[in-house]
Amino acid sequence: MNALEKWLTLRPSFGSGGPATPATPATPQAAGSHPVADVAVVAKGPGPRPDAGPANDTPEAWRRWYHRTVDYRAIVGKRTLAEALPLAYGDAVCEWHKRFGASPPEGVCAGCGGPLEGQGVYSLHDGARLHDDGCLTRYGRRWRTAAVEGLALLGISPPPGWEP
């Protein structure tokens, strides 16, 4: 079972109607392990954009937020589930990095670890400073890989085809 199939079994309301036309509200029993409040979110629509991130750092809060983010990307963004999942997962990767990512080293390139000298140094919003595109790619892959591993520990798997 791949991540998309697993998602569909977890979200019976998406199984028949698709994200653009949510099925009739699922009963708490049909929702399996999902709390009743989460079912209400699907029944009423996704609600406000879940920009604030998970309410806390328990696996349950992260998964609930991730499901809300997928709902938001699918329903408000009018996307298919296959399109919404990687976008929501990307949101989760960024949120994980913001909360738990290692601080970039000071005074050296976050990509290669070399000294920073001269002009043309990239400065990123997380404080990382980098030499060039190669160092940017290396640093991005490193923090995204760490986030994917952290999300897996919270029970959130990457959707099919997602690459750090």
Interface with Zn ion (CB under 5 A): 109, 111-112, 114, 131, 135
Provide, rounded to whole angstroms, the least separation between the CB of residue 79 and Zn ion.
Answer: 36
Provide, rounded to whole angstroms, the least separation between the CB of residue 105 and Zn ion.
Answer: 11
* Choice between 113 and 160, CB closer to Zn ion: 113
* Choice between 26 and 109, CB closer to Zn ion: 109
Provide, rounded to whole angstroms, the least separation between the CB of residue 109 and Zn ion.
Answer: 3
State the Cα–Cα distance between residues 41 and 16, nearest whole angstrom. Answer: 18
Q: What is the CA radius of gyration of the chain?
A: 18
Of 13, 30, 31, nearest in space to 22 by CA: 13
* Choice between 73 and 131, CB closer to Zn ion: 131
State the Cα–Cα distance between residues 48 and 81, nearest whole angstrom. Answer: 19
Separation in Å, CA 14 to CA 2, 89, 98: 16, 17, 30
Q: Which two tokens stand for residue 8?
A: 């569909």
Residue nearest to Zn ion (CB): 109
* Choice between 76 and 112, CB closer to Zn ion: 112
State the Cα–Cα distance between residues 129 and 86, nearest whole angstrom. Answer: 27
Provide, rounded to whole angstroms, the least separation between the CB of residue 2 and Zn ion.
Answer: 36
